[in-house]
Structure 1
Amino acid sequence: MDLCLGQVFSKDKTFRPRKRFEPGTQRFELYKKAQASLKSGLDLRSVVQLPQGENINDWIAVHVVDFFNRINLIYGTVSEFCTERSCPVMSGGQRYEYRWKDNNLYKKPTKLPALKYMSLLMNWIETLINNEDIFPTRVGVPFPKNFQQVCKKILSRLFRVFVHVYIHHFDSICSMGAEAHVNTCYKHYYYFITEFSLIEHSELQPLKAMTERICT
């Protein structure tokens, strides 16, 4: 029997603490606007479009943080099944393997178990979105010139989480009754990145067939 989504996507399943928007800020208001549109049942292609008069970098920042929270939560639900034994390499089937490089502890692309890769990835993203020099929250502080490039890298790496979950753990998602929720999250993510050309199409190849089936 399907479980209620509140049980499946609970706080104790969160892989990393959720990043929240400060009430009273422009980012918070944009987040509320985006969430209201999502809950209204509007077509997801329309939901991701930049609201008239809003700054595109603010809009991208809100969505990057929101996708981080959502994808972090999705992975948290299957992380108990994603062990070093079951997933000794971060991959998407036999054709795609992802290696970790952060120019800090891992200066060269390094093969890692999926769970370790995910932990490093979420920590890396969390550090970036909490960095005021990259994701400024104070009024009047501009975004850095490379802001969209940073966001493209974040979103590209978050896509790898979808690849791993869909290819290696989707049976677990289905057994929880959460397939529709994960598909909706993926569609929202896919429409957003394509609306603003935030990921190279070549990087989307691992889920190409599924994307054509659920996003067209």
Structure 2
Amino acid sequence: MAAFIEAILQTFGIEPDLEDRKSKTKPNGKKPPAEEKKQYLEPEFTKVRVVDFDLKELVVLPREIDLNEWLASNTTTFFNLINLQYSTISEFCTGEICQAMTACNTIYYWYDEKGKKTKCTAPQYVDFVMSLCQKLVTDEEIFPTKYGKEFPNSFESLVKKICRYLFHVLAHLYWAHFKETVALELQGHLNTLYAHFIVFVREFNLVDPKETCIMDDLSEILCTPAPLPALTPAPSATAPSPSSQNHVTER
């Protein structure tokens, strides 16, 4: 936008005010993250997938399977796959580079068991997430594997908690480490994993849409069948207004 305005000013012979322009950026002259171009939305990257079929068929509850068993199996699988996906770029996600757990215009804070709010670096946050998920999915009292063992009454709420945290990790991967993912040629794996995860949590209402809305632009591309070439997709009803794009949300 700044380059566009500068071009217009120069057309009319008006010199742009460099001091004013710098004041709207960070002290180092870089644009705020909310204004950065989302590379992961470019068609050359969104079209890359590991598989190309309707993911809806993968997430629908089979008739002969208990709902809790299905949620447990898929949640454990997503935890392992997202943990593995993050590990591929973990060397680039350091406390110096990712000083906060960010995704789009959101900063995530960690809340401990007592509800204490803590701002931490992205690698610290991800470590908290993976440690908690590992503890839960390997607890026989929560994720039972023995025949006849009952799931606790709190099972669904714990699955929702895990899925919410895993979404944060996926969002951070796209927002902060998509370039490294592309360099490793793993964008197809990430796209497929993200789409599968979103379709799954939508099917069983496991993550509040208010939580996932920051990635709605990507979700609509990866989870919605591609429109016919002659059609132009309508603007998303949940797209943030220009004034809200510079607002940083804290969660």
Structure 1 and Structure 2 fold alike (TM over 0.5): yes
Q: Secondary structure at the match of 1:135?
A: coil
Separation of aligned partners in 2, 1:121 and 1:40: 28
The 5 Å alignment of 1:38-49 reads: 42-49=53-60
1:101 is the counterpart of 2:111:
yes
In structure 2, runs of 5+ residues without a counterpart are 1-49, 225-251
1:182 is the counterpart of 2:193:
no
TM, length-normalised to structure 2: 0.67
Separation of aligned partners in 1, 2:103 and 2:134: 23
Task: Kindly indicate whether the alpha-carbon contact (under 8 Å) linking 2:61 and 2:70 is maintained by their aligned counterparts in 1.
Answer: yes
Residue 79 of structure 1 deviates from its aligned partner by 0.7
* Number of residue-to-residue matches in the alignment: 175
Of 38, 57, 61, the match for 2:68 = 57
Q: Which residue of 1 aligns with 2:86?
A: 75
* Structure 2 CA distance for partners of 1:41 and 1:109, relative to 1, 3 Å: same
Separation of aligned partners in 1, 2:222 and 2:197: 12
Of 87, 90, 95, the match for 2:101 = 90
TM, length-normalised to structure 1: 0.78
Q: Which residue of 2 aligns with 1:22?
A: none
Of 156, 173, 196, the match for 2:204 = 196
Q: Secondary structure at the match of 2:83?
A: helix
After the TM superposition, which parts of structure 1 deviate over 3 Å for at least 4 consecutive aligned residues? 39-42
Task: Kindly indicate whether the alpha-carbon contact (under 8 Å) linking 2:51 and 2:192 is maintained by their aligned counterparts in 1.
Answer: no
Q: Which amino acid aligns with 1:64?
A: T
Separation of aligned partners in 2, 1:114 and 1:153: 18
Look at both structures and tell me which one has the larger radius of gyration over its CA atoms.
Answer: 2
Residue 102 of structure 1 deviates from its aligned partner by 2.3
Q: Which residue of 1 aligns with 2:118?
A: 110
Q: Which amino acid aligns with 1:67?
A: F
> RMSD of the TM alignment (CA)?
1.5
Separation of aligned partners in 2, 1:206 and 1:173: 20
